[in-house]
Amino acid sequence: LISSAHILGEKKEKVFKLDNTIVGTILFLVNALFIIFVFVQFAYLFGSAEYVYKNSLVFAEHARSGFFQLAWVIALAALMLVFFYRSTAHHGTHKLLQFLKVLLIVQVGVIGYSALHRINLYQEAYGYTVLRLYVEWFIYFAMFILAIAAGSIVIEWRFRKFFYTAMICGVVALTAVTSVNVDNMIAKENVDRFILNGKELDIEY
């Protein structure tokens, strides 16, 4: 402020450059692991209510496991993609690596769809609650952010733009959720289930 000699020049970002071969190998192996997991567990991931009954599964546990699978998968994918994204956005990337990153996001989306499917089965069987509805909305939000991430990789957005966009979407989503009369939605849905479909009504809840 006092001396003209002490001025802030152009900031040079020090972003570590990752080896494309190492990144490609990691992404290929993780994608292969995801594909094998989805293939082997397909019936469990996308089974109907009949599947749940036949295999003596509990709807609550089935839905809960789907949500935590999604949470772990998102955490794993996010750590890798953020690390890789920042490096490739600064130093450039190969089209094959770009494809592998988008493929990973798509596969996380598949796990997300499975989690959404299971929470919907749970709600169809037992009706709405605040927790079930918030979980469903969170999955929708996560899948929306995944779509933005895939798009930003394809168009080669700077990491900072993607990060700020995701943060803004988070604030908008939180504002929208807190603006909704959730209890009214739950009560209306559960009463309609009882009147129209003859399903059990949880009076205590």
Q: How confident is the model at residue 179 (pLDDT cuts 50, 70, 90)?
A: very high
* 138, 68 contact by CB (below 8 A): no
Which has more pLDDT, 198 or 105?
105
| For residue 105, pLDDT beyond 70 | yes
- What DSSP element (H or E) covers 200? none
Whole-angstrom Cα distance, residue 205 to residue 203? 5
Q: Whose CA is closest to 134, among 65, 183, 202?
A: 183
**Residue 6 DSSP code:** S
Cα–Cα dist 179/182, whole Å: 9
pTM of the complete model: 0.80
Question: For 129-152, how does the pLDDT look when each residue is reduced to its tens digit (9 = 90+)?
Answer: 999 999 999 999 999 999 998 898
**pLDDT at residue 142, rounded to an integer:** 92
Reported as a single tens digit per residue, the pLDDT across 13-62 is 565 666 778 888 888 998 998 899 888 888 888 888 888 888 888 888 88
The rounded distance, in Å, linking the Cα atoms of 201 and 194 is 6
